[in-house]
Amino acid sequence: MCCVEPNGERWNQPLTDDDRNLAEVPGRLTNQSALAAWPLLQRSRWVWEGNRLMAAAAWKSQSLQSALIAACLAVTAAVFIRLELLGALGTRLAYITLYPAVTVAAVIGGYRAGALATTFAALAASVWLSPLREAADWVGLAVFVVACVLIVGVTDAMHRAQTRALEAEAEAKLAGAIRESEARLKAVVDTAADGIVSIDGTGIIQSVNPAAARLFGYRPAEAVGQNISLLMPEPHRSRHDQYLRDYLWSGKGKMVRFGREVQGLRKDGGVFPMDLAVSETTIEGERLFIGLVRDISERKRAEERQQQLTEELKTSESDARRQQALFEGVFNSAPDAIVLADMERRITMVNAPFTRLFGYDVEEVAGSDDSKLYVDRAEWRRIGDHIFADTVEAPPVPQSAQFRRKDGEIFPGEIVVSGYSDQSGAQLGYVGIIRDVALERKREEAQRQSQKLEVIGQLTGGVAHDFNNLLIVIIGNLEFLEMRLEEDEERALLRKALDAADMGQRLTDRLLTFARRQTLAPERTSLNQIVLSLTDMLRRTLGPSIELTTVLSPSLWPVVADRGQIESAILNLALNARDAMPQGGKLVMRTSNMEIDTAPVDADLQSGRYVRLTVEDTGEGMPPDVRAHAFEPFFTTKGTGRGTGLGLATIYGFAKQSGGSATIDSDVGKGTTVDIFLPAEPSFGTAGSAQERMQQ
């Protein structure tokens, strides 16, 4: 509790009239007011004594004036009255009106006024009323003066007695008021919630109130007479006396006039924070410092707790923001659509993949029933029954359903639904994870088709190989027999047999190509050159009703493949397109580079660089059941004698044997698109050596 701070300005505020008036307003003192009222306990009597002396001095200064006025008025009135009586009385009874004048002056103005009135009356009587001509006149004047002196003496004695009585009564009343005021002020100080300590100019404690005694742990008798440093911890304890001397002698330092946070020292050695305010006053020439102290330990603990709570709140908010950002990142980066719904299955939140999958923005579905996502309301009810039937312990089971996008498109999907709860375990709603399985099912179908074609190819290759060996024997014997025949008729019959055997051999060659057992002659070539070299022949073959268009990439990568097989594939696709467009149409051939990390759904390809040849027509198209068997050997929708069903099968086998693949996309009334993927030359890509694959 430092009264003075070093290196500052002096703060001194003596008591004012407002401070003194506090003694007359009981019950209105606050702790801060009590600090100012404390000196009144020791200076109230001194104030009264000063007021009494000042009143006496004022009375003395005013008495002479009143005496002169009273004397003049009284004598003047008496003289005028006596002059009016000259005609009736003459010079007899000259002093008859002057006695009352002297008496009135003495009563009103005191002995001074009486003496002055006596003097003025004697002079006036000797001049105007009874001139001093004879001895009797002098005797009459002397008698008048003596009588007036007696009158003034008696009147003054009576006046002084009355004044003393009034003063005694006033002093008694004022003393009672002072005692009552002191009692009230002492009660305020003693019952103040804050501690009040007064010290003199040497730092010695003069008084402590009960609150200060309780605060510091000392009895008042133990603290009074001790240095104020008793209540201070280091380093203030050893420095305070020097601060106080500097302040008193040189005015250096400043008074802690307003509340300031410092530390106090209890009797048991405990240090505690407190607010301190100090005022300075002077009583009878002695400087006195009064300190008001308040224990703020609870407030400091509350502030520390508030600070801790604030930091915890900031940390919690930061953690919540991080968790929210993490949740939003995971929520929106999930590969599948996620829907959050309440217990009534009203949508509350969706992620970004949901928007991409269904086409709805968050605002369009928030608060709406999730049944709008399903094609069949019966499926929606079935999923709901499954949700409510599941227990918390039961793992969620994927459910298949048909879903509808915003544009009306229907797609197959799977949904996994589970409930989510708050920290108390109360269920808040449901989380649904929806996955579009159309591509997956298409991949599965393509995989099954590829496996089926692989099995068919192995079977066909074995049969074709054995059959080709038989044809080689037959053709060899027929050719040997042809050389020995001489009859033209017999040679003609033998030629027909050879032609039929050659046709059978070509058929087996195509079967071997599908089975990827055909010996190819790969070479570095450009698909653009092959397409351009066949354009004129294709236009003649297709006829004027079919418009042929080529869209060739100017920077197409070269390929290593069997040129003859490529030409055969292009011709087969063009003839198939012509048959699909009996009324005419458009045929487009495109070439492009393609670098893939993930193969198309219906193409079994490794990652790498490929050259794609696309043949697209505007023909009748194929239904799904026909498209599923298009690459199978001997499968054809043409009439008897119009095709063998080996065209697309041969193309598929050639592409696979070359290290690539082939795909077909067709819908009824929308035409057909066939894509042939051939690996780029190794120096241009990473698809691997096509020649190595063909040799394998």
* Class of residue 35 by CB neighbours under 10 A (exposed 0-12, middle 13-18, buried 19+): buried
pLDDT band at 279 (very low <50, low <70, confident <90, very high): confident
Q: What is the mean pLDDT of residues 103-124?
A: 76
- Examine the pLDDT at 268 and tell me if it is beyond 50: yes
Strand 546-551, strand 585-596: pairing: parallel
Contacting residues for 77 by C-beta, under 8 A, at least 6 apart: 101
Q: What is the mean pLDDT of residues 91-115?
A: 73
- Could you tell me which residue, 595 or 255, shows the higher pLDDT? 595
Contacting residues for 351 by C-beta, under 8 A, at least 6 apart: 331, 332, 334, 337, 338
- Examine the pLDDT at 190 and tell me if it is beyond 80: no
pLDDT band at 558 (very low <50, low <70, confident <90, very high): very high
- Could you tell me which residue, 369 or 33, shows the higher pLDDT? 369
pLDDT band at 245 (very low <50, low <70, confident <90, very high): confident
pLDDT at residue number 634: 62
Q: What share of the chain is helix, strand, coil (3-state, %, to 5)?
A: 55, 20, 25
- Evaluate whether 334-436 and 522-695 have a shared fold: no
pLDDT band at 587 (very low <50, low <70, confident <90, very high): very high
Which residue is it, tokens 């505690």?
A: 272
Helices 98-124 and 40-84 pack at an angle, to 10 degrees, of 70
Q: What values do phi and psi take at 261, rounded to 5?
A: -85, 120
- Examine the pLDDT at 28 and tell me if it is beyond 50: no
Report the alpha-carbon distance of residue 549 to residue 590 in Å, rounded.
9
Least confident of 148-157, 223-232, 662-671: 148-157
H or E stretch covering 618: none
pLDDT at residue number 556: 93
Query: For the chain, what percent of residues have pLDDT higher than 90?
Result: 10
Strand 585-596, strand 608-617: pairing: antiparallel
pLDDT at residue number 509: 62
Asked if 292 contacts 194 with a C-beta cutoff of 8 angstroms, the reply is yes
pLDDT band at 252 (very low <50, low <70, confident <90, very high): low
Instruction: Report residue 668 as tokens.
Output: 């009824």
Using alpha carbons, select from 37, 20, 110, 41 the residue that is nearest to residue 71. Answer: 110
pLDDT at residue number 551: 93
Q: What values do phi and psi take at 281, rounded to 5?
A: -145, 170
Contacting residues for 406 by C-beta, under 8 A, at least 6 apart: 358, 359, 360, 364
pLDDT at residue number 492: 73
Domain ranges of the chain: 4-37+193-295, 43-186, 334-436, 444-514, 522-695
Asked if 559 contacts 679 with a C-beta cutoff of 8 angstroms, the reply is yes
pLDDT band at 617 (very low <50, low <70, confident <90, very high): very high
Assign domain 522-695 to its CATH superfamily. Histidine kinase-like ATPase, C-terminal domain (3.30.565.10)
pLDDT tens, position by position, 453-505: 565 555 555 555 556 666 666 777 777 676 777 666 666 767 777 677 666 66
Task: Provide the terminal-to-terminal Cα distance of the chain, rounded to the nearest Å.
Answer: 100
Give the three-state DSSP class for 562: strand
Contacting residues for 622 by C-beta, under 8 A, at least 6 apart: 630, 664, 666, 667, 668, 672
Q: Specify the fold of 4-37+193-295.
A: Beta-Lactamase (3.30.450)
What region, left, alpha or beta, does residue 27 occupy, with left being phi > 0 and alpha being psi -120 to 50 degrees?
left
- Examine the pLDDT at 651 and tell me if it is beyond 70: yes
- Examine the pLDDT at 340 and tell me if it is beyond 90: no
pLDDT at residue number 93: 65
Least confident of 305-309, 365-369, 451-455, 535-539: 451-455
pLDDT band at 691 (very low <50, low <70, confident <90, very high): very low
- Examine the pLDDT at 104 and tell me if it is beyond 50: yes
Instruction: Report residue 40 as tokens.
Output: 């009144």
Report the alpha-carbon distance of residue 289 to residue 688 in Å, rounded.
100
pLDDT band at 593 (very low <50, low <70, confident <90, very high): very high
Query: For the chain, what percent of residues have pLDDT higher than 70?
Result: 69
pLDDT tens, position by position, 390-444: 544 556 778 888 888 988 888 888 888 887 787 777 878 888 888 887 777 777 6
Q: What is the mean pLDDT of residues 672-696?
A: 65
Using alpha carbons, select from 209, 192, 191, 179 the residue that is nearest to residue 23. Answer: 179
Beta bridge partner(s), residue 281: 288
Beta bridge partner(s), residue 208: 197
- Could you tell me which residue, 450 or 263, shows the higher pLDDT? 263
- For the chain, the average pLDDT equals 75
pLDDT band at 677 (very low <50, low <70, confident <90, very high): very high
Least confident of 50-64, 142-156, 618-632: 50-64
Q: pTM for this one?
A: 0.39
- Examine the pLDDT at 90 and tell me if it is beyond 80: no
Q: What is the mean pLDDT of residues 640-655?
A: 68
pLDDT tens, position by position, 373-387: 888 888 888 877 766
Assign domain 334-436 to its CATH superfamily. PAS domain (3.30.450.20)
Q: What values do phi and psi take at 429, rounded to 5?
A: 170, -150
pLDDT at residue number 32: 45
